[in-house]
């Protein structure tokens, strides 16, 4: 498997590709799990060439503790990818390689998508994500790029990014992959105790019940109900529950039959921040 660590090596590799064959990119921050593997497998089915980028992007962490504790394991990640296909190319640059002069993000206007939920609770997060994703898309020039729906707000923001920056790439959102108990796969799950990893399944169970309730009740009623459920589980500290329109991420005011809605949750468990979401209709 080819490991590329510099822009120069990357350009060398890209110059060998046939222009009429498609390139798929899966941007990651490593600590690869089954959720990432699903993105990679889909990209392999849909493209001639597949590049997985592994880069823990400092500008998208609003909390230095979270950055320091973020699992980094290039060797283990390479093994995971190798077990999927030897033909995958890994791009794992250093911080200096990606941010040559200053470790700083660009200020974007994502039309309001960036001000709610993750954006409201993680100052500067989406500017950091936008900066690194724009760099990766511009450097690698994939035909398709794959992102998980666990970070649904990120996915919508990246779609917006490619629209405002006119980046010619197809952004593909892939369904959330869950552990057997329903907990969404996340690199942060590794930081949970075994007991908490089981208890955190409550997040998805609550989302499923919220979906059922949304069929007959107002969004306000559903949100209040979710808050009450988490009060009964103080080991899971609810940061927010939001119900929004799926595309605009605008909070729902009135339910319309022809619009798609989604519920979003952020929770702290043993100091680890977990997010999840579900399509409501």
Which residue numbers are catalytic? 36
Summary count for the chain: helices (H), strands (E):
11, 9
Least separation in angstroms between CB 249 and ligand PAF: 17
Q: How many angstroms separate the Cα of 205 from the Cα of each of 188, 194, 198, 246?
A: 19, 18, 12, 20
Q: Contact with ligand PAF (CB under 6 A): which of 23, 24, 28, 207?
A: 28
Q: Give the count of beta carbons closer than 10 Å to the beta carbon of residue 9.
A: 15
Which two three-digit tokens encode residue 132?
A: 């690194």
Mask: binding to ligand PAF, 115-154, rule CB under 6 A, as x and -?
Answer: --------------x--xx-----------------x--x
Least separation in angstroms between CB 13 and ligand PAF: 20
Nearer to ligand PAF, 104 or 205 (CB): 104
Q: In terms of Cα–Cα distance, which of 34, 58, 41 is closest to 187?
A: 34
Asked if 157 touches ligand PAF (CB under 6 A), the answer is no
- Per DSSP, helices labelled H in 47-104 are 64-69, 74-84, 95-98
Least separation in angstroms between CB 30 and ligand PAF: 8
Give 275's Cβ-side CA count (13 Å radius). Answer: 17
Asked if 92 touches ligand PAF (CB under 6 A), the answer is no
Restricted to residues 208-267, the positions that interact with ligand PAF (CB under 6 A) are none
> Which parts of this chain interact with ligand PAF (CB under 6 A)?
27-29, 57, 60, 129, 132-133, 151, 154
């Amino acid at each position: 498997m080819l490991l590329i660590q510099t822009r120069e090596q990357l350009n060398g590799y890209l110059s060998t590709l046939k222009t009429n064959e498609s390139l798929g990119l899966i941007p990651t921050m490593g600590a690869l799990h089954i959720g990432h593997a699903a993105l990679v497998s889909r990209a392999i089915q849909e493209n001639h060439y597949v590049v997985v980028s592994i880069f823990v992007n400092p500008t998208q962490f609003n909390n230095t503790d979270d950055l320091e504790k973020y699992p980094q394991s290039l060797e283990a990640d390479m093994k995971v990818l190798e077990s999927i296909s030897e033909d995958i190319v890994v791009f794992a640059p250093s911080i200096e390689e990606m941010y040559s002069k200053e470790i700083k993000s660009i200020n974007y206007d994502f039309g309001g998508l960036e001000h709610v939920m993750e954006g409201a609770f993680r100052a500067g997060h989406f500017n950091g994500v936008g900066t690194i994703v724009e760099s990766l898309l511009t450097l690698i020039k994939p035909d398709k790029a794959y992102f998980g729906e666990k970070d649904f707000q990120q996915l919508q923001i990246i779609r917006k990014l490619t629209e405002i920056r006119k980046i010619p790439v197809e952004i593909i959102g892939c369904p959330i992959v869950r552990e057997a108990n329903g907990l969404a796969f996340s690199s942060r799950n590794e930081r949970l105790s075994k007991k908490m990893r089981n208890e955190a399944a409550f997040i998805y169970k609550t989302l499923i019940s919220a979906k059922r309730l949304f069929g007959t009740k107002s969004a306000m009623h559903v949100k209040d109900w979710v808050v009450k459920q988490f009060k009964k589980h103080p080991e899971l500290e609810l940061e927010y529950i939001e119900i929004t329109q799926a595309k605009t991420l605008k909070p729902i005011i009135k339910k319309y039959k022809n619009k798609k809605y989604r519920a979003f949750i952020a929770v702290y468990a043993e100091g680890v921040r977990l997010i999840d979401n579900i399509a409501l209709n």
